[in-house]
C-alpha cells in the first residue's frame, strides 16, 4: 500500500440529499479528507441550506458548500418520499448537472463521492467524465445483502413469512424480519427501486467505501472481496468521539439541541441513565410510547428521553406520539428528563449514560460503538432491523427488543431488555464487549489501522489518476 503524498493535489465533489442521517457521514468524511490535504466541495439540496449554513464546521472556509434544487418548493413536505424521489430523479438530476457544468468552468474534480440514496447522480457524474466513488453510509452487511439480492447472487425466500430464514455469507442466520426493510413487499416500492437503480449503476463506480470498520464486520467485508469489494474507512463519526481534543460540532443538526440535558447528566451518578432516542425519522405509536413510560416509571431508574414534536420532518403516522402525559412527567420528575432534541454524540460520551434504547440507525449505532455504550436495539425500518441483529449477534454490545404480534414491545419485554444490559453477568459481558469495540474503533483509524490504510489507498489512487 503506497503512502499518500505530502500535498496531494486532489479536488473532490460530494453529492448528497439534505437528510440528517445522510449529510452527517458525508461531512465527517469531508473533514477527514481535508485533514489529509484534499479540497472538498459538498453539493446538497436547497432544503438543507439554512441548517448547513448555521453549522460552523459545514460552513467553514475548508468545505465549499454548493446547493441545487431537488425540483420541489422549500416548504414541500418531503416525508412524501414517493414525490420527492420521482422529482429529484428528473429535475434534481438536471439541476445537479447544471451545477457541475458551472463549477467545472474554473476547476477540475479529481473524483466525486455520492451516497447510496442519489443513484441518479452517478449517471450525471459519468456524463461529466468525473471518476466516481460510492460512500456506503450504512453497515457493510446491508451493502452485501442488497448486492446479493439485486444482483441475484444468492437465493432469497419469498418474504411472506417473517420467520423464514436466509443464509448469507459472513452473516448469522437471518430471519426475514432481520433483512433491510426496503426489499420487503410490505414497504413502498419506490425505496426498492431506488436501491435497484444504485446496484445497476454500480458498474460506473470506481470505489465503494464504507462508513463502518473492518474490525466489527470482518467476515462480511471478506465475503464481498470476490464480488464488488467494499473498503471500510470508518467509523465515520466526528473526531472528538474518537478522543481528539477539539469538541466541534461537525454534524449538522436539523433541529436545535437542548444543551441543558448535559448539565442534567452532570448531576447523575456514573452509568445510571437510560438514554432513549429513535433518530430523526422514526416516531413511536401511542401504545408503544405508553409501554416505555410504564416501564420507566416502575423501574425507578434515571432516563433521558428524546421525544420529537409533530411536523419535524419525520414520517407522521395517525397514531403517532409526540408528547408524554403530564402525569408521567410529574411522577418521574428529578430522575427523568424529556427533551425534543439533544446533542446525542455528547450525551453518549457522558459517563452518566448506562445504555441506549435506540432505533439502530447506522449513525447512532456507530456513535454507541465508539463510546462503548450498551444498546437495546429497537428497530423500525430500512437498515435498522439488520443493525439490531448485528448488535445482538455479531457485535454483541447489546440486545434486541422482541415485538408482540401487534408489533409493540410489552412492558415485561422492555423490563427484560433493561435488566439484560444493566444488571448481572450478561450486562457485564455486554459492557466488556462494548469497551473492546470502542478500543478497536480507535485502532482502525490510527496510522497503520485498517480504515486508515484504506483511506490512504483511496487518496493515493485518486492522486495517481490526477498526475
State yes or no: residue 28 binds ligand UDX (CB under 6 A).
no
Distance of alpha carbon 413 from alpha carbon 404, whole angstroms: 9
State yes or no: residue 341 binds ligand UDX (CB under 6 A).
yes
Stretch that binds ligand UDX, among 43-51, 278-286, 392-400, 407-415 (CB under 6 A): 278-286
456 close to 1: Cβ distance less than 8 angstroms: yes
State yes or no: residue 280 binds ligand UDX (CB under 6 A).
yes
Contacting ligand UDX within 283-302 (CB under 6 A)? none
Q: Which is nearer to ligand UDX, 215 or 383 (CB)?
A: 383
- Region class of 88: left (phi > 0), else alpha (psi between -120 and 50), else beta: alpha
* CA angle, 256 then 180 then 444, to 5°: 70
132-136 β-sheet, strand order: 63-68, 39-45, 11-16, 111-114, 132-136, 207-210, 231-232
Three-class DSSP labels, the chain: CCCCCCCCCCEEEEEECCCHHHHHHHHHHHHHHHHCCCEEEEEEEHHHHHHHHHCCCCCCCCEEEEEECCCCCCCCCCCCHHHHHHHHHHHHHHHHHHHHHHHCCCCCCCEEEECCCCHHHHHHHHHCCCCEEEEECCCHHHHHHHHHHHCCCCCCCCCCCCCCEECCCCCCCEEHHHCCHHHCCCCCHHHHHHHHHHHHHHHHCCEEEECCCHHHHHHHHHHCCCCCCCEECCCCCCHHHHCCCCCCCCCCCCCCCCCHHHHHHHCCCCCCEEEEECCCCCCCEHHHHHHHHHHHHHHCCEEEEECCCCCCCCCCCCCECCCCCHHHHHHCECCEEEECCCCHHHHHHCCCEEEEEECCCHHHHHHHHHHCCCEEECCCCCCHHHHHHHHHHHHCCEEECCCCCCCCCCHHHHHHHHHHHHCHHHHHHHHHHHHHHHHHHHHHHCCCCHHHHHHHHHHHHHHHHHC
List the one residue from 367, 386, 391, 399 that touches ligand UDX (CB under 6 A): 367
Contacting ligand UDX within 5-24 (CB under 6 A)? 20-21, 24
State yes or no: residue 277 binds ligand UDX (CB under 6 A).
yes
Stretch that binds ligand UDX, among 50-58, 155-163, 380-388, 411-419 (CB under 6 A): 380-388
Instruction: State the minimum distance, in angstroms, from the CB of residue 380 to ligand UDX.
Output: 8
State yes or no: residue 175 binds ligand UDX (CB under 6 A).
no
State yes or no: residue 281 binds ligand UDX (CB under 6 A).
yes
The residues, ordered by sequence, that sit 6+ positions from 153 with a Cβ below 8 Å of its Cβ are 147, 227
Grid cell locating 275: 438514554
Q: Which is nearer to ligand UDX, 67 or 255 (CB)?
A: 255
Instruction: State the minimum distance, in angstroms, from the CB of residue 249 to ligand UDX.
Output: 10
State yes or no: residue 181 binds ligand UDX (CB under 6 A).
no
Q: Which is nearer to ligand UDX, 174 or 281 (CB)?
A: 281
Instruction: State the minimum distance, in angstroms, from the CB of residue 245 to ligand UDX.
Output: 20
Instruction: State the minimum distance, in angstroms, from the CB of residue 383 to ligand UDX.
Output: 5
| Contact letters for ligand UDX, residues 232-261 (x by CB under 6 A) | -------------------x-x--------
Stretch that binds ligand UDX, among 204-212, 290-298, 329-337, 339-347 (CB under 6 A): 339-347
State yes or no: residue 212 binds ligand UDX (CB under 6 A).
no
State yes or no: residue 364 binds ligand UDX (CB under 6 A).
yes
List the one residue from 109, 231, 275, 362 that touches ligand UDX (CB under 6 A): 362
Q: Which is nearer to ligand UDX, 312 or 452 (CB)?
A: 312
State yes or no: residue 363 binds ligand UDX (CB under 6 A).
yes
List the one residue from 138, 181, 386, 451 that touches ligand UDX (CB under 6 A): 138
Instruction: State the minimum distance, in angstroms, from the CB of residue 25 to ligand UDX.
Output: 8
Stretch that binds ligand UDX, among 38-46, 77-85, 274-282, 447-455 (CB under 6 A): 274-282
Number of residues forming the site for ligand UDX (CB under 6 A): 25
List the one residue from 119, 361, 372, 385 that touches ligand UDX (CB under 6 A): 361
Among the listed residues 434, 265, 427, 249, the one whose alpha carbon sits nearest the alpha carbon of residue 345 = 249
| Contact letters for ligand UDX, residues 81-120 (x by CB under 6 A) | ----------------------------------------
Instruction: State the minimum distance, in angstroms, from the CB of residue 271 to ligand UDX.
Output: 20
State yes or no: residue 383 binds ligand UDX (CB under 6 A).
yes
Q: Which is nearer to ligand UDX, 99 or 281 (CB)?
A: 281
List the one residue from 344, 371, 386, 397 that touches ligand UDX (CB under 6 A): 344
Distance of alpha carbon 69 from alpha carbon 91, whole angstroms: 8
By the criterion CB under 6 A, which residues form the site for ligand UDX?
Answer: 20-21, 24, 138, 251, 253, 277, 279-282, 306, 341-345, 361-364, 367, 382-384
Amino acid at each position: 500500500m503506497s503512502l499518500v503524498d505530502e500535498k496531494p493535489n486532489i479536488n473532490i465533489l460530494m453529492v448528497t440529499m439534505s437528510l440528517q442521517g445522510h449529510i452527517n457521514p458525508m461531512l465527517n468524511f469531508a473533514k477527514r479528507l481535508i485533514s489529509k490535504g484534499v479540497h472538498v466541495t459538498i453539493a446538497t439540496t436547497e432544503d438543507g441550506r439554512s441548517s448547513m449554513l448555521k453549522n460552523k464546521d459545514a460552513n467553514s472556509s475548508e468545505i465549499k458548500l454548493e446547493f441545487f434544487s431537488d425540483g420541489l418548493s422549500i416548504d414541500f413536505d418531503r416525508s412524501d418520499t414517493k414525490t420527492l424521489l420521482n422529482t429529484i430523479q428528473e429535475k434534481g438530476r438536471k439541476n445537479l448537472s447544471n451545477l457541475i457544468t458551472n463549477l467545472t468552468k474554473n476547476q477540475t474534480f479529481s473524483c466525486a463521492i455520492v451516497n447510496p440514496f442519489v443513484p441518479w447522480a452517478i449517471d450525471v457524474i459519468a456524463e461529466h467524465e468525473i471518476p466516481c466513488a460510492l460512500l456506503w453510509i450504512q453497515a457493510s452487511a446491508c451493502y452485501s445483502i442488497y448486492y446479493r439480492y439485486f444482483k441475484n447472487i444468492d437465493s432469497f425466500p419469498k418474504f411472506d413469512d417473517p420467520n423464514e430464514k436466509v443464509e448469507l455469507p459472513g452473516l448469522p442466520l437471518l430471519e426475514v424480519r432481520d433483512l433491510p426493510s426496503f426489499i420487503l413487499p410490505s414497504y413502498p416500492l419506490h425505496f426498492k427501486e431506488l436501491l435497484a437503480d444504485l446496484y445497476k449503476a454500480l458498474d460506473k463506480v470506481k470505489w465503494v467505501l464504507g462508513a463502518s470498520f473492518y474490525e466489527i464486520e470482518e467476515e462480511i467485508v471478506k465475503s464481498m472481496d470476490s464480488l464488488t469489494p467494499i473498503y471500510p474507512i470508518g467509523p465515520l463519526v466526528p473526531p472528538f468521539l474518537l478522543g481528539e481534543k477539539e469538541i466541534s460540532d461537525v454534524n449538522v443538526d436539523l433541529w436545535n439541541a437542548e444543551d441543558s440535558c448535559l448539565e442534567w447528566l452532570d448531576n447523575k451518578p456514573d452509568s445510571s441513565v437510560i438514554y432513549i432516542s429513535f433518530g430523526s425519522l422514526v416516531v413511536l405509536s401511542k401504545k408503544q410510547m405508553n409501554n416505555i413510560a410504564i416501564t420507566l416509571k416502575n423501574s425507578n431508574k434515571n432516563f433521558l428521553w428524546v421525544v420529537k414534536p409533530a411536523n419535524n420532518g419525520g414520517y407522521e403516522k395517525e397514531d403517532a406520539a409526540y408528547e408524554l402525559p403530564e402525569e408521567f412527567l410529574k411522577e418521574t420528575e428529578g430522575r427523568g428528563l424529556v427533551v425534543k432534541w439533544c446533542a446525542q454524540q455528547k450525551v453518549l460520551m457522558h459517563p452518566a449514560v448506562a445504555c441506549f434504547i435506540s432505533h439502530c440507525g447506522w449513525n447512532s449505532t456507530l456513535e454507541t460503538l465508539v463510546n462503548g455504550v450498551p444498546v437495546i436495539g429497537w428497530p423500525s425500518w430500512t437498515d435498522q432491523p439488520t443493525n439490531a441483529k448485528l448488535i445482538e449477534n455479531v457485535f454483541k454490545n447489546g440486545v434486541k427488543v422482541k415485538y408482540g404480534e401487534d408489533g409493540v414491545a410489552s412492558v415485561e419485554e422492555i423490563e427484560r431488555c433493561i435488566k439484560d444490559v444493566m444488571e448481572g453477568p450478561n450486562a457485564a459481558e455486554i459492557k466488556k464487549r462494548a469497551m473492546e469495540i470502542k478500543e478497536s474503533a480507535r485502532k482502525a483509524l490510527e496510522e497503520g489501522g485498517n480504515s486508515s490504510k484504506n483511506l490512504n489507498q483511496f487518496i493515493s489512487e485518486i492522486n495517481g489518476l490526477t498526475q
